[in-house]
Structure 1
Amino acid sequence: MKLSIVILNYKVPHHLMLCLDSVSRAIESIDAEIIVVDNNSEDESCKLVEKNFPGVLLISNTENLGFSKGNNIGVKKAKGEFLCILNPDTVVPEDCFTKLFDHHRKVKNPGVIGVQLIDGSGEFLEESKRNIPTPQVALKKLSGNCSSYYNFNLAKEENGPTDILVGAFMFMKTKLYLNIGGFDEDYFMYGEDIDLSYRILKAGYQNYYLGSTKVLHFKGESTTKDQVYLNRFYNAMYIFFKKHFKNYKTTFKLVKQILKLTMALEKIKLKSIEIQSLKFNEIHLISENKCLQDKIKAKLNSEINVITKTSSELENAFIVIDANCLQYSDSIKVITDLKSKNNAFRIKPRNYNFMIGSESKHLKGEVIDLS
């Protein structure tokens, strides 16, 4: 088998269906398997997988084991030569994996390969390519200077080496993942991707960023931005520094104190975040489905403009993309092309009566039921 895709799910059933729909398209011509590990979501996630994707290997955990352990459980079942760790709140283009295979063949001594991640509004997610977060780099970032934390030597559309990749999308040889020991299970959530990337570098491999391939990542859909989130996030940073930079005792102590201060400030910041509701001049539907048009019209109580392609002049518009009409690669292009014009986007997956979208990486997105 060529490829195993491991998706760890936690309480995002609708995003998971959209993700699986896009992945299913992307592996139509590939000898591949999909493994979904559910971390005791206690919702309809598992039933939806069994009903709509019977070919998927579903592993249902009886408790939330965290990101590292959950993914490691899935990888143990993987049969593919290659492995992709993928978040359930992502949408991949149809040519995603064929491009990754090709790039893996071309580069020297490949470790992990990542892609250009964009959020639901089309904005680039800078964590797609990062440098090693040494204590000095972390201090600068915690003080508001991210110039050394993110890899600005590569433009977002470029392909090239980078040190650290993000756990939402990590592509590599399955053998490499297993030989390196997989994700460190000391991390419950956050930091494990930095740790894995860094261990692969230390083992003599080179990680790469493939900026020419865009993947939609709604980001944070299975995470509530609360005190538990903050504790896990900053504890993960503490584990990483203690594990890999314990010789930097003076700097490490300073980082530890600043982490505590930053955590308190972030708690205040999260409470203050408010995303203003956008006001839309028009609602556009990219589809040829009259029934879908009627459903959206009834749900939103508004007139719907049906279009077959978008215009760069669209502004302040609510744009619904029917995946039966557009490929996911084209859907991602629509979102990125119109990202700076106060537009909002919703994607309706094939064969499902809902649509999904998000205007902010800070808050959970919106699922609109069309049934």
Structure 2
Amino acid sequence: MMPPKAPQPLDKYLKVKKLTVVIVSYNVKYYLEQCLNSLNRALQGIDSEVYVIDNHSRDGSVAYLERRFSQVNFVSSNHNLGFARANNIGIRDSESDYVLLLNPDTFVAESTIRKCVDFMDEHPNAGACGVKMLQVDGEKAMESRRGVPDPLTSFYKMTGLCSRFPTHRRLGHYYMGGLPWDKPAEIEIVSGAFCMLRRSALDKVGLLDEDFFMYGEDIDLSYRILKGGFTNWYIPCSILHYKGESTQKSSFRYVHVFYDAMLIFLRKHYGHLSLFLSLPIKIAIYGKAFIALTGMLNHGLRKAFGLFHSASKMFPEFLFLGDRTAVDQCRRIARQKGLVGRYIVCNYESNPDGHLSELESFDPQKKYQIVYDTDSYSYEQILHIFESHPLPNLFIGTYNRKSRTIITTDEIYRHV
């Protein structure tokens, strides 16, 4: 099946917006609220519109958020349409030079979108660009820059050669690990978690291929953009990606959809290869899927019998940073929820190092959620602090005083 065609260019006399942001949401009400809050700041001064396509959420997302974000265009589907089909709805309805596909389980630094738009304006052959995605501990996410998963590249990834030789030009090509993180660079695959697209590129190569329900459609579209004569780019500006809050990665359905997407891409773009070349890749994909299912079953059994690590690993301690009002509100929520926490009254001006000023007080054997009040620290400042000194046991959390909501990697805590 061919990907849907993009709508024809609008009449030249019709005012076209600079940017449309399309977010596909599924049962992530509070993560999406945070994402939209960050967009309110990041879109300042940009002629833009935002579409949220809700894939039949059961958590009351649309009713909750429509009251809080009246400027956002909400589309509430009666069915789970999948990622590709839902994004295409927003793209078809939009009127803009650029389209940004953005995951709901992200937040963007205040300057990120402006830097991307400026880069695309300055590079007319750029079909798409992605950014530096940070994990919840501040480490850079490898999937920020990827190569086309041709059969050999996929084989190196599946067999572990990519992780063993991450900067090798060929063996490490899946994550393009030889590229610098602090400079723009041409890449091949742009992640769908943050993918800014040129409208004229979509007009030429078509929209997302709806044969992909979820996963793989970003790889397919990026590859078609390259084949259409455009370039794809990595831009060194930051977002946080919670990486999977919008999907149930512990479900059998996830394993099926994820690994089936690999097979769809292989059949679509490399179906002409001989069985001798394609068979090892298929075997590796099925093998990876089997290992994932086995690990999932093991995790379920360990959880059922209580065979987890110590409580210090399971139940984190908290450090709250913000002004007096935010700290007092967080203290009340912590008391209601039985959280163990410390509190620092500060803002970026008085404490630009944030939690790094307390590093000596953290036990390396414990897990900590570092919760920043987003009125006392900007999203950009929070990301910069974490990225400057990532540690595997410290995780990014935020507090929104308007909704009285603490968002962490594991849980949502709200004032009741």
**TM bracket, shorter-chain basis:** over 0.9
What corresponds to 1:157 in structure 2?
182
What corresponds to 1:294 in structure 2?
331
Correspondence 1:189 to 2:214: yes
What corresponds to 2:10 in structure 1?
none
What corresponds to 1:353 in structure 2?
404
1:64-143 paired onto structure 2 within 5 Å = 64-107=80-123, 109-143=125-159
Q: In the superposition, relative to structure 1, how do residues 261 and 331 fare at CA in structure 2: closer, same or farther (>3 Å)?
A: same
1:173 corresponds, among 172, 190, 198, to 198
* 8 Å contact from structure 2 (residues 320, 330) kept in 1: no
Could you list the runs of 5+ residues in structure 2 that have no partner in the other structure?
Answer: 1-16, 163-171, 303-307
- Aligned-pair CA distance for 1:354: 1.2
- Aligned-pair CA distance for 1:105: 2.9
Correspondence 1:267 to 2:293: yes
Q: In the superposition, relative to structure 1, how do residues 301 and 60 fare at CA in structure 2: closer, same or farther (>3 Å)?
A: closer
Could you give the per-residue CA deviations for residues 337-367 of structure 1, whole angstroms, max 9, x where no partner exists?
Answer: 3421622331113511211121xxxxxx321
- Aligned-pair CA distance for 1:181: 1.1
- Aligned-pair CA distance for 1:30: 1.4
Q: In the superposition, relative to structure 1, how do residues 350 and 209 fare at CA in structure 2: closer, same or farther (>3 Å)?
A: farther
1:50-65 paired onto structure 2 within 5 Å = 50-65=66-81
Distance 1:271 1:338 in 2: 35
Distance 2:245 2:334 in 1: 27
Could you give the per-residue CA deviations for residues 170-195 of structure 1, whole angstroms, max 9, x where no partner exists?
Answer: 01222322432111000001100000
What corresponds to 1:306 in structure 2?
344
What corresponds to 2:238 in structure 1?
214
CA RMSD in angstroms, aligned pairs only: 2.0
Could you give the per-residue CA deviations for residues 38-76 of structure 1, whole angstroms, max 9, x where no partner exists?
Answer: 011122110122110011101111100101000001111
Could you list the runs of 5+ residues in structure 1 that have no partner in the other structure?
Answer: 359-364
* 8 Å contact from structure 1 (residues 12, 221) kept in 2: yes
What corresponds to 2:168 in structure 1?
none
Correspondence 1:7 to 2:45: no
Identity score, percent:
32
Could you give the per-residue CA deviations for residues 159-180 of structure 1, whole angstroms, max 9, x where no partner exists?
Answer: 1100011100001222322432
* 8 Å contact from structure 1 (residues 110, 205) kept in 2: yes
Question: Partner amino acid for 2:319?
Answer: I
Which stretch shifts more, 222-231 or 162-171? 222-231
Correspondence 1:256 to 2:282: yes
TM-score, normalised to structure 2, is: 0.83
Q: In the superposition, relative to structure 1, how do residues 281 and 27 fare at CA in structure 2: closer, same or farther (>3 Å)?
A: closer
* 8 Å contact from structure 2 (residues 318, 339) kept in 1: no
- Aligned-pair CA distance for 1:254: 2.2
Q: Computing the radius of gyration over CA atoms, which structure comes out larger, 1 or 2?
A: 2
Could you give the per-residue CA deviations for residues 4-43 of structure 1, whole angstroms, max 9, x where no partner exists?
Answer: 1000001111100000000011112211111000011122
Which stretch shifts more, 264-273 or 168-177? 264-273
Which stretch shifts more, 280-289 or 149-158? 280-289
Distance 1:350 1:63 in 2: 33
TM-score, normalised to structure 1, is: 0.92
